[in-house]
Amino acid sequence: MMAKPEQANEEWHSTACNLCFVNCGVEIKLGGEDGRQVLKVRGDKEHPTSQGYICNKASRLDYYQNSKARINSPMRRTPDGSYEAVDWDTAISEIAGKLATVRDEHGGDKILYYGGGGQGNHLGGAYATSLRKALGIRYKSSAISQEKTGLSWVFSRMIGGLVHPEVHHAKVAMFVGKNPFMSNGLDRARLFLKEIKKDPERTLIVMDPRRTETADHADIHLAVRPGRDAWCLGAILAHIVQSNLLPMDWLAEHAAGYEKVIERFQAIDVDSYAEFSGVSPSQVKETAEVIAKAESFALEEDIGVQMAPHSTLVTYLNFLLMLMNGNYGRPGTIGMITQLADMIAVDYGPVDENGYETERRTLPVTGAPIVSGLFPANYLTEEILNDDPKRSRALIVESSNPVHSLSDAKRMRRALRHLDFSLAIDVVMSETAMECDYVLPASSQYEKWEATFFPRNFPANIFHLREPILEPMPNTLGEPEMHARLIEALGVFDAGELDGLKTAAQNGMAAYQGELFSQMGSNRKVASYLPYVLYRTLGPALPEGQAATAAIWGLCQMYVLKHSAEAARAGFSGPSAGSDLFQALVDSPTAVEIGISTYEESWARIPHPENKLQMLIGELLDEVDVLDKLEPMLKTSEEYPFALVAGVRRAYTANCNIRDPQWAKGRAVTALTMHPEDAQRFGLEEGKRVLLETETGQTEVELAYDERMHLGTISVPNGQGMRFVNENNELEDTGVYVNELTSVFHRDRFIGTPLHKFVPARVSAC
Ligand code: SF4
C-alpha cells in the first residue's frame, strides 16, 4: 500500500528495478524529509526468478524517481522555441484537435507512434492501442526494433513461437555478443557465471572480440575480430556438418529444410572462415565438437551482435547451431513459453517451397519491412524527411527517447521539426520532449500500477504486476488516463454508450464478464477499443487507484482461454480462472507464476507443418554466399582506422531512465576506451582529452586504457550525453552522446537494425 511519511522509514515496499529488462524484484525503503526518497534497495527474496538477487545498479533508483528533469505540468511549445505550462484540459483538447486535423486532412496512417513503455514500464502502452485505433494509426515502432526484430523474425520462421533458451540449465551454454557480467540481461547474472565456472560438468563458451568480464568465467573464449562473428559461427556449424556430427535421425523426425542447410555448409571452407574471423581453426573445431557432443546446449545472443554487421544472419546462424544439433524441447535447450502479453510478437509470413517469405507489410515511403508489428526505427527519419504525399506528418512518442537512442540525433531532431505535429509523453523533459510541440508529464513507475511484459522463462513463466509505492507527483497522470482523455476528446463513444458495462462492473466480476462478452458481440466498438473500455468501465469498480489494472484483467481472461493447461498447472482453472489469476497478481507483492509449460507443449505448439522446426530461411541461407567472399561488411580505413563500439554497457551505466551522472559519482564511466598498444601507435595518452570523429559527427572525450579491448577497436559507454540539471540549476550534459556519431544508413539489410557496434572512427589528440 501507499507509503505514509510517518511509517516510511520502517516499511519495505515490494516492486521491481527498471534499469534493465530482467526487472529483478526489489524491496525499497522510502524516507527523507518528504518520505519520497528511495533510501535503501534490497533484493526481493520472494521473487520467483531473481530470488533476492540484484546488481550494483538498483541501489541508485532514487536518481530515476527523483530526477531533476521530471516535469509536473503539460507543456506547450511557443513560437520562440521555449515551453509554457498549460492546464490538462487545454493540453488534451489542443492535442486531440491537432491530431484529428492530421488524421482528417492526410489520413491516420500519416501519424506514427513510437514507444509504449520504457524499460519495465509497459502498462501504459497497453492502453495506447485504443488511442491508435481512434486516430487510425497504422505504423508503430519502439526501441525493440533497434535490436530484437531480427531475432523475432528468425525464431518466428524457424519455430513459430516465443522461445526461451535455457542457458541456466544447459550442459554447454554460450553467449554471443553478450556480456551479462556487466550488462545483466540475464536472471541472476553474476551468480550464474560463478556457478557455471565452478561446475566441472558444465561448459561456458563466449564469443566476443573483447576479453569481457563474462569471458573471464568461460571455458572457451572465441575472440573474433569485430564484425566477423558470422564467419566464426559459420565455421563452427560447417565443421559439425562436415564431421558428420549432426543428429540425423532427430532432424528427420523433427525438422524440415535441413537438407539444404547441410548441403550449403558442406561447401564451406572451415579453415579460411575461421582464419578470417580471427579465431584459429583448431579452436573453432574444438568448440564445434563441444557443442555437437553436448547433452544439452543453449545460446543467448545480445546487442553485441544484433547491432553489428550481418546482424540477422548471425541470429540465424545462432539458431541453426542450437536447432541443427537437436537442442529443442528437452531440458537445457529451448522451450516455447506462454506470456500474458507478447512484448515481441511472433510474426512470420507465407513461405514458398524454397524457403523464401512471399509477403510482408512494409512502410509506405521507404518500403522497409514491418516485423513483429514494428517498423525499423532506423527508417523513421526517411519516412518524414521527404516530399512524398505518403510521408508521415505527425508523431506520438510515449515513454521513449528516439532523439537520444536512434541513430543520427541531429537528423532525428530535424525530422521532428519537419512534422506538422509532435507529442511526447514522458516522466522527464527528455531530449525528444525538448523537440516536440506538446509534452505530457507521466507519473513515475513507482507512483502508479505498473508491469513489465518482458519475462521469458521456462517451464514456469511469471508476471509481476506492481502496486504504487508512492502517491503520484502532483499534476502528473498515468498514461492510461491520458489515453482515455484523448479518446474522449476525439468523441469516439457517445454519452452513455458504456453505461451498461459500468453498471455490470458494480455487480461483480462474473456479471461484468457476461455483459462484456455480450456487448462485444453487439457493439464492434467495444471489442475494437477494449483497453479503453475496460479502463473506463471495469476500472472505476476496482479499488481506488487501481483502474489501470483493468487491462490486465482482460489479458488474464485471454491467457486462461488460450493457455488453459499451462494456467491450470499454475493453479488457475475453472470458470473463474481468469479473474482468479488477476486477483492473484493484484494481491501478490511480488511476481506470480502464471503458467507452467511442458516440453511436449513446446513441440505441439509449433505452428509449422507437422509441428516441425523449419531450418531453411531462404533469404538468410543465400546470404552465406556473401561470407564466401571473405570481405567484411563494414571496414576500417586509413581515414577511419578504428571500429567504434558506440554504446557499451558498463558497471555504472544503465538505460536512459537515469539521467543524472551523479549516480556514478567518483567512477570513470564516460571515457573512450582503447587498448594501450593502439594508444601508443597513435601517440595518445591515458587521461588526456582526445577528438573522436566518425563520418556523422565528432566529440571530445577522455581516453582510458583497457587491455581487454581487441586491437583496432574502441568503445564509448551507452546512456551518456543526456541533459540534466546540475547543482547550480543549469542544464548540462556529460560523456559522449553516441548517436551524434552514428548514421541511419549503417543498418542490417534484412530488418534495418542499426550497426552501432561497428562505426568506423578515428581518434586524435586534442
Ligand atoms: S539493473 Fe537489471 S540485473 Fe541489475 S538489479 Fe536492475 S533489473 Fe536486476
Looking at residues 279-293, what average pLDDT do you find?
Answer: 98
Atom of ligand 1 nearest to the CA of 55: 4
Whether the predicted pLDDT of 6 surpasses 50: no
713 lines ligand 1 (CB under 6 A): no
Condensed to tens digits (0 to 9), the pLDDT of residues 246-274 reads 999 999 999 999 999 999 999 999 999 99
Q: Is 19 in the pocket of ligand 1 (CB under 6 A)?
A: yes
8 pLDDT above the threshold of 60: no
pLDDT value at position 424?
A: 98
pLDDT at position 4 is 41
Residue 274, C-alpha cell as written in the block: 575461421
Q: What percent of the chain has pLDDT over 90?
A: 89
184 in contact with ligand 1, CB cutoff 6 A: yes
Q: Answer whether 145 contacts ligand 1 (Cβ < 6 A).
A: no
* Section 703-716 average pLDDT: 96
Res 571: pLDDT: 98
State the fold for domain 75-147+359-441: Rossmann fold (3.40.50)
Instruction: Decide: 435 and 152 in contact? Cβ < 8 Å.
Output: no
Which atom number of ligand 1 is nearest to the Cα of residue 19?
Answer: 1
Q: Which three cell numbers stand for residue 98?
A: 491537432
What are the residue ranges spanned by the domains of the chain?
12-66, 75-147+359-441, 149-343+610-626, 464-479+493-602, 634-765
pLDDT bucket at 3, cuts 50 / 70 / 90: very low
How far is Cα 287 from Cα 325, in angstroms, rounded to an integer? 13
| Structure confidence at residue 667 (pLDDT) | 66
pLDDT tens-digit readout, 504-562: 999 999 999 999 999 999 999 999 999 999 999 999 999 999 999 999 999 999 999 99
Distance 348 CA to ligand 1 centre (A): 32
The pLDDT of residue 45 is above 80: yes
Find the 649 Cα to ligand 1 centroid distance in Å.
12
3-state secondary structure of 754: strand
Domain covering 634-765 assigned CATH 2.40.40.20 in the classification: yes
Q: Ligand 1 atom 8: the closest Cα is on which residue?
A: 24
Q: How far is ligand 1, taken at its centre, from the CA of residue 113, in Å?
A: 28
Any ligand 1 atom below 6 A from CB of 371: no
* CA gap 568, 587 in Å, rounded: 19
- Spacing, Cα 20 to ligand 1 middle (Å): 5
Could you tell me the strand order of the sheet in which 37-43 lies? 12-16, 25-31, 37-43
Q: Is 224 in the pocket of ligand 1 (CB under 6 A)?
A: no
Q: What is the pLDDT of residues 299-328, one digit of tens each?
A: 999 999 999 999 999 999 999 999 999 999
- The residue contributing the CA closest to ligand 1 atom 5 is 54
Q: Tell me whether the CATH fold assigned to 12-66 matches the one assigned to 634-765.
A: no
Q: Are strands 25-31 and 12-16 parallel, antiparallel or unpaired?
A: antiparallel
With 0-12 / 13-18 / 19 or more C-beta atoms within 10 angstroms meaning exposed / middle / buried, residue 389 is exposed
Q: Domain 149-343+610-626 in CATH: superfamily? A: Dimethylsulfoxide Reductase, domain 2 (3.40.228.10)
pLDDT at 658: 83
The CATH class of the 12-66 domain is mainly beta
Closest ligand 1 atom, residue 184 Cα: 3
Whether 220 lines ligand 1, by a CB cut-off of 6 Å, is no
> pLDDT at residue 5 above 50?
no
Q: Is the CB of 17 under 6 A from ligand 1?
A: yes
Nearest to 339 by CA among 168, 187, 477, 457: 457
Ligand 1 within 6 A of CB of 23: yes
Do residues 172 and 203 make contact, with C-beta atoms less than 8 angstroms apart?
A: yes
Residue 10: predicted pLDDT: 76
CB 15 less than 6 A from any atom of ligand 1: no
Average pLDDT, the chain: 95
Best residue among 55, 181, 191, 466 to mutate for probing ligand 1's pocket (most ligand atoms within 8 Å of CB) is 55
